């Protein structure tokens, strides 16, 4: 099941509320101290859920795209999808789209950091959790605590 990014965020907020409602009720309304505060630890479950849930960026034309999220493994456009630390770029436009890594400072390309060209009608899997610049100009420099950074960009060719 694939849903829009907005629906996904609403689901995450609902999960947070459902987890937090009982301990907050016990502490604030019943005045029973921290009897159910352990339930707040369940909020840590949202970290792997959010990190290992693939995102779909469907490009419809240069600069226009939709962002969707995979809730349950399934199929879209004839391709099977499952959980993992990645994005899928679906090019439904008439333009070729490029995915690139940008290196700032002393950072160098790693083995698994491959630039990709996505031709019209193709689907490409990208092993990144987020794409930093989607159809926007990349930053000339970034502020880091170390000697460099690596960012990603998606643009029309």
Please report the pLDDT score of residue 119 as a whole number.
95
pLDDT band at 64 (very low <50, low <70, confident <90, very high): very high
Q: What is the pLDDT of residues 77-129, one digit of tens each?
A: 777 888 888 889 999 999 999 999 998 888 888 888 899 999 999 999 998 88
pTM here is 0.77
Q: For residues 103 and 109, is the Cβ–Cβ distance under 8 A?
A: yes
Q: For residues 68 and 5, is the Cβ–Cβ distance under 8 A?
A: yes
- Where in the chain are the domains? 2-49, 52-156
Please report the pLDDT score of residue 112 as a whole number.
85
Q: What is the pLDDT of residues 45-62, one digit of tens each?
A: 777 777 778 889 999 999
Q: What residues pair up with 99 in beta bridges, in sequence order?
A: 116, 154
Strand 133-134 to 148-156 pairing: parallel
Which residues touch 73 (CB under 8 Å, ≥6 apart)? 80, 81, 82, 83
Please report the pLDDT score of residue 70 as a whole number.
87
């Amino acid at each position: 099941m694939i849903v829009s990014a907005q629906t996904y965020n609403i689901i995450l907020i609902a999960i947070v509320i459902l987890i937090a409602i009982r301990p907050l009720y016990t502490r604030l309304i019943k005045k029973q101290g921290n009897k159910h505060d352990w339930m707040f630890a369940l909020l840590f479950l949202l970290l792997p859920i959010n990190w290992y849930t693939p995102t779909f960026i469907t490009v419809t034309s240069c600069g226009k795209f939709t962002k969707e999220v995979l809730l349950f493994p399934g199929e879209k456009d004839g391709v099977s999808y499952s959980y993992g630390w990645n994005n899928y770029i679906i090019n439904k436009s008439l333009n070729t789209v490029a995915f690139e890594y940008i290196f700032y400072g002393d950072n160098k390309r790693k083995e698994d950091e491959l630039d990709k060209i996505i031709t019209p009608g193709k689907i490409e899997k990208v092993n990144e959790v987020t794409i930093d610049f989607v159809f926007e100009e990349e930053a000339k420099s970034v502020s880091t605590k170390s000697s460099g950074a690596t960012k990603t960009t998606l643009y029309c060719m």
